[in-house]
Structure 1
Amino acid sequence: MKRARSYGKHEDIVLRAHIELSRSLTKIRAKETSWLGDRDLTLPQFGILESLYHLGRLTVGQITTLTLSTPGNITVVIKNLQSKGLINAKPSEEDRRIKILEITEKGSSIIQSIFPSHVENLSGWYDKALSEDEIKTLSHLLRKLEKAQ
Protein backbone atom coordinates (compact mmCIF):
# COMPACT_ATOMS: atom_id res chain seq x y z
CA MET A 1 0.00 0.00 0.00
CA LYS A 2 1.18 3.49 -0.78
CA ARG A 3 2.44 5.43 2.23
CA ALA A 4 0.51 8.61 3.03
CA ARG A 5 2.18 11.93 2.55
CA SER A 6 3.57 13.50 5.72
CA TYR A 7 2.43 16.95 6.75
CA GLY A 8 4.82 17.18 9.68
CA LYS A 9 5.29 14.99 12.75
CA HIS A 10 2.73 16.78 14.95
CA GLU A 11 0.25 17.25 12.11
CA ASP A 12 0.46 13.55 11.19
CA ILE A 13 -0.32 12.62 14.81
CA VAL A 14 -3.32 14.97 14.82
CA LEU A 15 -4.58 13.60 11.50
CA ARG A 16 -4.26 10.00 12.75
CA ALA A 17 -6.16 10.84 15.96
CA HIS A 18 -8.88 12.58 13.95
CA ILE A 19 -9.24 9.67 11.54
CA GLU A 20 -9.45 7.14 14.39
CA LEU A 21 -11.99 9.27 16.28
CA SER A 22 -14.12 9.63 13.14
CA ARG A 23 -13.96 5.91 12.34
CA SER A 24 -14.86 4.94 15.89
CA LEU A 25 -17.82 7.30 16.01
CA THR A 26 -19.02 6.14 12.59
CA LYS A 27 -18.97 2.48 13.68
CA ILE A 28 -20.69 3.16 17.00
CA ARG A 29 -23.33 5.35 15.31
CA ALA A 30 -23.98 2.62 12.72
CA LYS A 31 -24.62 0.08 15.51
CA GLU A 32 -26.80 2.55 17.37
CA THR A 33 -28.77 3.43 14.22
CA SER A 34 -29.38 -0.22 13.42
CA TRP A 35 -30.44 -1.03 16.99
CA LEU A 36 -32.84 1.92 17.08
CA GLY A 37 -34.18 1.08 13.63
CA ASP A 38 -35.21 -2.32 14.97
CA ARG A 39 -37.31 -0.35 17.47
CA ASP A 40 -38.86 1.88 14.77
CA LEU A 41 -36.86 4.96 15.76
CA THR A 42 -34.21 7.02 14.04
CA LEU A 43 -31.21 8.39 15.92
CA PRO A 44 -32.58 11.98 15.81
CA GLN A 45 -36.00 10.78 17.05
CA PHE A 46 -34.33 8.91 19.90
CA GLY A 47 -32.27 11.99 20.77
CA ILE A 48 -35.39 14.13 21.08
CA LEU A 49 -37.33 11.54 23.08
CA GLU A 50 -34.39 10.93 25.40
CA SER A 51 -33.88 14.68 25.96
CA LEU A 52 -37.56 15.29 26.74
CA TYR A 53 -37.75 12.21 28.97
CA HIS A 54 -34.71 13.16 31.06
CA LEU A 55 -34.97 16.97 30.98
CA GLY A 56 -38.69 17.65 30.69
CA ARG A 57 -40.38 20.22 28.48
CA LEU A 58 -38.02 22.01 26.09
CA THR A 59 -38.29 24.53 23.28
CA VAL A 60 -37.54 23.53 19.70
CA GLY A 61 -34.41 25.71 19.91
CA GLN A 62 -33.20 23.91 23.01
CA ILE A 63 -33.80 20.51 21.38
CA THR A 64 -31.95 21.63 18.25
CA THR A 65 -28.94 22.61 20.35
CA LEU A 66 -29.02 19.51 22.57
CA THR A 67 -29.26 17.09 19.66
CA LEU A 68 -26.69 18.95 17.52
CA SER A 69 -29.28 19.20 14.77
CA THR A 70 -30.33 21.88 12.31
CA PRO A 71 -33.64 23.79 12.40
CA GLY A 72 -34.72 22.33 9.05
CA ASN A 73 -34.04 18.73 10.02
CA ILE A 74 -35.46 19.02 13.52
CA THR A 75 -38.82 20.24 12.14
CA VAL A 76 -39.25 17.03 10.13
CA VAL A 77 -38.20 14.83 13.07
CA ILE A 78 -40.65 16.63 15.39
CA LYS A 79 -43.51 16.19 12.91
CA ASN A 80 -42.73 12.47 12.62
CA LEU A 81 -42.66 12.05 16.40
CA GLN A 82 -45.96 13.94 16.69
CA SER A 83 -47.58 11.74 14.04
CA LYS A 84 -46.49 8.66 16.04
CA GLY A 85 -48.05 10.20 19.14
CA LEU A 86 -44.73 10.29 21.00
CA ILE A 87 -44.48 14.05 21.62
CA ASN A 88 -46.73 17.10 21.73
CA ALA A 89 -45.83 20.60 20.58
CA LYS A 90 -47.65 23.71 21.68
CA PRO A 91 -46.96 27.44 21.51
CA SER A 92 -45.30 29.06 24.50
CA GLU A 93 -47.65 31.16 26.61
CA GLU A 94 -45.01 33.93 26.81
CA ASP A 95 -44.13 34.00 23.11
CA ARG A 96 -46.47 32.30 20.64
CA ARG A 97 -43.62 32.02 18.08
CA ILE A 98 -41.79 29.57 20.35
CA LYS A 99 -42.96 25.96 20.44
CA ILE A 100 -42.68 23.92 23.60
CA LEU A 101 -42.17 20.18 23.20
CA GLU A 102 -43.16 17.56 25.73
CA ILE A 103 -43.04 13.80 25.67
CA THR A 104 -46.35 11.92 25.75
CA GLU A 105 -47.17 8.96 27.93
CA LYS A 106 -46.62 6.71 24.91
CA GLY A 107 -43.21 8.32 24.25
CA SER A 108 -42.22 7.98 27.91
CA SER A 109 -43.22 4.34 27.88
CA ILE A 110 -41.04 3.66 24.85
CA ILE A 111 -37.99 5.41 26.31
CA GLN A 112 -38.48 3.70 29.68
CA SER A 113 -38.55 0.33 27.95
CA ILE A 114 -35.53 0.79 25.65
CA PHE A 115 -33.17 3.20 27.44
CA PRO A 116 -31.73 0.63 29.87
CA SER A 117 -30.88 -1.66 26.94
CA HIS A 118 -29.38 1.28 25.05
CA VAL A 119 -27.08 2.03 27.98
CA GLU A 120 -26.21 -1.65 28.26
CA ASN A 121 -25.30 -1.74 24.55
CA LEU A 122 -23.10 1.34 24.85
CA SER A 123 -21.36 -0.12 27.88
CA GLY A 124 -20.73 -3.36 26.03
CA TRP A 125 -19.32 -1.61 22.97
CA TYR A 126 -16.95 0.50 25.05
CA ASP A 127 -16.05 -2.27 27.51
CA LYS A 128 -14.90 -4.47 24.61
CA ALA A 129 -11.99 -2.14 23.98
CA LEU A 130 -11.43 0.01 27.06
CA SER A 131 -11.09 -0.31 30.81
CA GLU A 132 -13.22 1.89 33.05
CA ASP A 133 -10.25 4.19 33.69
CA GLU A 134 -9.62 4.47 29.95
CA ILE A 135 -13.28 5.33 29.37
CA LYS A 136 -13.03 8.07 32.03
CA THR A 137 -9.86 9.38 30.39
CA LEU A 138 -11.46 9.28 26.94
CA SER A 139 -14.48 11.19 28.24
CA HIS A 140 -12.26 13.77 29.92
CA LEU A 141 -10.11 14.25 26.80
CA LEU A 142 -13.10 14.54 24.47
CA ARG A 143 -14.74 17.08 26.75
CA LYS A 144 -11.50 19.06 26.83
CA LEU A 145 -11.34 18.97 23.02
CA GLU A 146 -14.98 20.07 22.77
CA LYS A 147 -14.51 23.01 25.14
CA ALA A 148 -11.46 24.21 23.19
CA GLN A 149 -13.54 24.78 20.03
Structure 2
Amino acid sequence: MDDNLSLKAFVVLMKSSKTLQERIKQDIQSYGMKTSEFAILEALFHKGRQTVRQISEAVLINTGSITYVIDKLETKGFLEREHCTEDRRAVFIQITDKGTKLMNEIFPKHQQVIEDLFEGVSKEDLKTVIETLKKVGHRA
Protein backbone atom coordinates (compact mmCIF):
# COMPACT_ATOMS: atom_id res chain seq x y z
CA MET A 1 0.00 0.00 0.00
CA ASP A 2 2.89 2.39 0.76
CA ASP A 3 4.00 1.96 -2.85
CA ASN A 4 1.00 4.02 -3.96
CA LEU A 5 1.54 6.97 -1.62
CA SER A 6 3.22 9.14 -4.26
CA LEU A 7 0.40 8.45 -6.70
CA LYS A 8 -2.23 9.13 -4.04
CA ALA A 9 -0.47 12.37 -3.01
CA PHE A 10 -0.40 13.44 -6.66
CA VAL A 11 -4.12 12.76 -7.16
CA VAL A 12 -5.08 14.57 -3.94
CA LEU A 13 -2.86 17.52 -4.88
CA MET A 14 -4.35 17.80 -8.36
CA LYS A 15 -7.95 17.53 -7.13
CA SER A 16 -7.47 20.04 -4.34
CA SER A 17 -5.64 22.38 -6.70
CA LYS A 18 -8.53 22.28 -9.16
CA THR A 19 -11.05 22.95 -6.38
CA LEU A 20 -9.00 25.86 -4.99
CA GLN A 21 -8.54 27.36 -8.45
CA GLU A 22 -12.27 27.23 -9.11
CA ARG A 23 -13.05 28.92 -5.79
CA ILE A 24 -10.48 31.66 -6.42
CA LYS A 25 -11.80 32.14 -9.95
CA GLN A 26 -15.32 32.61 -8.55
CA ASP A 27 -14.04 35.16 -6.06
CA ILE A 28 -12.19 37.15 -8.72
CA GLN A 29 -15.20 37.04 -11.05
CA SER A 30 -17.33 38.49 -8.26
CA TYR A 31 -15.28 41.69 -8.70
CA GLY A 32 -16.06 41.76 -12.42
CA MET A 33 -12.57 40.65 -13.39
CA LYS A 34 -10.88 37.76 -15.14
CA THR A 35 -8.18 35.81 -13.33
CA SER A 36 -5.48 37.09 -15.69
CA GLU A 37 -6.51 40.72 -15.10
CA PHE A 38 -6.47 40.26 -11.34
CA ALA A 39 -3.10 38.49 -11.43
CA ILE A 40 -1.46 41.33 -13.34
CA LEU A 41 -2.95 44.03 -11.12
CA GLU A 42 -1.99 42.08 -8.01
CA ALA A 43 1.63 41.75 -9.20
CA LEU A 44 1.87 45.48 -9.89
CA PHE A 45 0.05 46.33 -6.66
CA HIS A 46 2.54 44.38 -4.54
CA LYS A 47 5.76 44.64 -6.56
CA GLY A 48 5.45 48.03 -8.22
CA ARG A 49 6.49 48.95 -11.74
CA GLN A 50 7.53 45.97 -13.88
CA THR A 51 8.38 45.10 -17.46
CA VAL A 52 6.01 42.93 -19.46
CA ARG A 53 8.52 40.08 -19.19
CA GLN A 54 8.71 40.40 -15.39
CA ILE A 55 4.94 40.38 -15.11
CA SER A 56 4.71 37.39 -17.45
CA GLU A 57 7.15 35.42 -15.30
CA ALA A 58 5.43 36.45 -12.06
CA VAL A 59 1.90 35.51 -13.13
CA LEU A 60 2.71 32.62 -15.47
CA ILE A 61 0.94 34.08 -18.50
CA ASN A 62 2.76 33.94 -21.84
CA THR A 63 3.88 37.26 -23.29
CA GLY A 64 1.54 37.00 -26.28
CA SER A 65 -1.56 36.78 -24.10
CA ILE A 66 -0.34 39.25 -21.52
CA THR A 67 -0.18 42.13 -24.00
CA TYR A 68 -3.91 41.72 -24.72
CA VAL A 69 -4.76 41.75 -21.00
CA ILE A 70 -2.53 44.76 -20.37
CA ASP A 71 -4.26 46.59 -23.23
CA LYS A 72 -7.66 45.91 -21.63
CA LEU A 73 -6.50 47.05 -18.19
CA GLU A 74 -4.92 50.17 -19.67
CA THR A 75 -8.18 51.00 -21.48
CA LYS A 76 -10.01 50.71 -18.14
CA GLY A 77 -7.47 53.09 -16.58
CA PHE A 78 -6.06 50.57 -14.08
CA LEU A 79 -2.50 50.63 -15.38
CA GLU A 80 -0.27 52.58 -17.73
CA ARG A 81 2.76 52.01 -19.90
CA GLU A 82 6.00 53.92 -19.51
CA HIS A 83 8.75 53.65 -22.11
CA CYS A 84 12.26 53.15 -20.78
CA THR A 85 14.58 56.04 -21.65
CA GLU A 86 17.72 53.84 -21.58
CA ASP A 87 16.33 50.98 -23.69
CA ARG A 88 13.63 51.92 -26.19
CA ARG A 89 12.61 48.25 -26.52
CA ALA A 90 11.68 48.04 -22.84
CA VAL A 91 8.28 49.15 -21.60
CA PHE A 92 7.41 49.41 -17.94
CA ILE A 93 3.89 48.77 -16.72
CA GLN A 94 2.67 50.44 -13.55
CA ILE A 95 -0.56 50.51 -11.67
CA THR A 96 -2.47 53.80 -11.70
CA ASP A 97 -4.15 55.52 -8.78
CA LYS A 98 -7.45 54.10 -10.03
CA GLY A 99 -5.94 50.58 -10.08
CA THR A 100 -4.45 51.04 -6.61
CA LYS A 101 -7.80 52.23 -5.28
CA LEU A 102 -9.49 49.14 -6.75
CA MET A 103 -6.90 46.77 -5.30
CA ASN A 104 -7.05 48.46 -1.88
CA GLU A 105 -10.78 47.73 -1.94
CA ILE A 106 -10.82 44.16 -3.25
CA PHE A 107 -7.52 42.59 -2.25
CA PRO A 108 -8.29 42.35 1.49
CA LYS A 109 -11.57 40.58 0.62
CA HIS A 110 -9.70 38.22 -1.73
CA GLN A 111 -7.09 37.50 0.91
CA GLN A 112 -9.86 36.68 3.40
CA VAL A 113 -11.32 34.12 0.98
CA ILE A 114 -7.91 32.44 0.87
CA GLU A 115 -7.61 32.57 4.67
CA ASP A 116 -11.06 30.98 4.95
CA LEU A 117 -10.04 28.15 2.62
CA PHE A 118 -7.23 27.22 5.00
CA GLU A 119 -9.26 27.68 8.18
CA GLY A 120 -8.65 24.83 10.58
CA VAL A 121 -5.21 24.03 9.17
CA SER A 122 -2.50 24.74 11.73
CA LYS A 123 0.45 27.00 10.98
CA GLU A 124 2.72 23.99 11.41
CA ASP A 125 0.74 22.02 8.81
CA LEU A 126 0.79 24.97 6.42
CA LYS A 127 4.57 25.25 6.79
CA THR A 128 4.88 21.51 6.14
CA VAL A 129 2.73 21.78 3.00
CA ILE A 130 4.81 24.70 1.72
CA GLU A 131 8.11 22.93 2.32
CA THR A 132 6.85 19.65 0.84
CA LEU A 133 5.51 21.32 -2.30
CA LYS A 134 8.78 23.22 -2.72
CA LYS A 135 10.69 19.92 -2.57
CA VAL A 136 8.41 18.31 -5.13
CA GLY A 137 8.60 21.37 -7.37
CA HIS A 138 12.39 21.49 -7.28
CA ARG A 139 12.59 17.74 -7.97
CA ALA A 140 10.27 18.02 -10.95
Q: TM-score, normalised by structure 2?
A: 0.91
Match of 1:89, SS? Answer: strand
Q: Tell me the alpha carbon deviations over residues 94-139 of structure 1, each in whole angstroms, 9 at most, x when there is no partner.
A: 21112100000010011111111111110110114x2221111111
Structure 2 stretches lacking a partner, 5+ long: none
Task: Name the CA distance, whole Å, in 2 between partners of 1:77 and 1:102.
Answer: 14
Of 77, 82, 96, the match for 1:104: 96
Structure 1 stretches lacking a partner, 5+ long: 1-7
Task: Name the CA distance, whole Å, in 2 between partners of 1:92 and 1:15.
Answer: 48
Higher relative contact order (CA 8 A, sep 6+): 2
Question: Over the residues paired in the alignment, what is the CA RMSD in angstroms?
Answer: 1.6
Q: TM-score, normalised by structure 1?
A: 0.86
Of 42, 47, 53, the match for 1:50: 42
* Identity score, percent: 30
Counting matched residue pairs gives 140
Q: Tell me the alpha carbon deviations over residues 57-108 of structure 1, each in whole angstroms, 9 at most, x when there is no partner.
A: 0000000000011111211111111111101012222211121000000100
Task: Name the CA distance, whole Å, in 2 between partners of 1:111 and 1:123.
Answer: 17
* Bigger Cα Rg: 1
* Alpha-carbon offset, residue 9 of structure 1: 5.7
Task: Name the CA distance, whole Å, in 1 between partners of 2:95 and 2:83.
Answer: 15
